[in-house]
Amino acid sequence: MSSSNVNITQLIQVNPIRPSRHTKILELIITKNMISINCAKGALSTSMRAFVFASVRTMGTSAVLAYPLTKTASSTKTTTAAVTSLKGQLKKEKEKLTKLNSKLKAKESALKTKQKERAADAKAKAAAKAKQVQTKQIKAQVVRKATKTIRGISPLNAFIKEITGGTLTDKISNWKTLANDERTIWKEKADEINAKTEQVFKPKPKSIASGYQNFLAEEHSKDRYRDLAFGDKSKQIAESWRQLSEEAKKQYNTPADVQKKAKEAYDAWVQSRVDAYLKHKATKKEIAAFESK
The DSSP H or E segment spanning 231 is helix 230-243
Residues 6 or more apart whose Cβ sits within 8 Å of residue 191: 152
> Strand ranges (DSSP E) for the chain?
5-6, 25-30, 35-39
Share of the chain above pLDDT 70, in %: 73
pLDDT digits (tens, 9 = 90+) for 139-163: 999 999 999 888 888 998 988 888 8
Rg (CA), the chain: 58
Structure-model confidence comparison of residues 215 and 70, the more confident one:
215
Structure-model confidence comparison of residues 170 and 40, the more confident one:
170
CB 232 within 8 A of CB 240: no
CB 172 within 8 A of CB 141: no
Q: How many CB atoms are closer than 10 A to CB 31? A: 13
Instruction: Say whether pLDDT at 13 is over 60.
Output: no
Q: How many CB atoms are closer than 10 A to CB 292? A: 11
| Class of residue 256 by CB neighbours under 10 A (exposed 0-12, middle 13-18, buried 19+) | exposed
- pLDDT value of residue 161: 86
Mean pLDDT of all residues in the chain? 77
Instruction: Say whether pLDDT at 8 is over 60.
Output: no
The answer, yes or no, to whether the previous bond of 68 is cis (omega within 30 of 0) is: yes
In this prediction the pTM is 0.51
pLDDT digits (tens, 9 = 90+) for 88-118: 888 898 999 999 999 999 999 999 999 999 9
Residue 58 banded pLDDT, cuts 50, 70, 90? low
Structure-model confidence comparison of residues 270 and 12, the more confident one:
270
Give the C-alpha separation, 155 to 161, whole Å. Answer: 10
Residue 271 banded pLDDT, cuts 50, 70, 90? very high
pLDDT digits (tens, 9 = 90+) for 208-231: 888 888 888 888 777 777 777 878
Q: Of 209, 218, 207, 225, give the one whose Cα is nearest residue 266.
A: 207
- pLDDT value of residue 16: 42
Domain edges within the chain: 5-70, 155-291
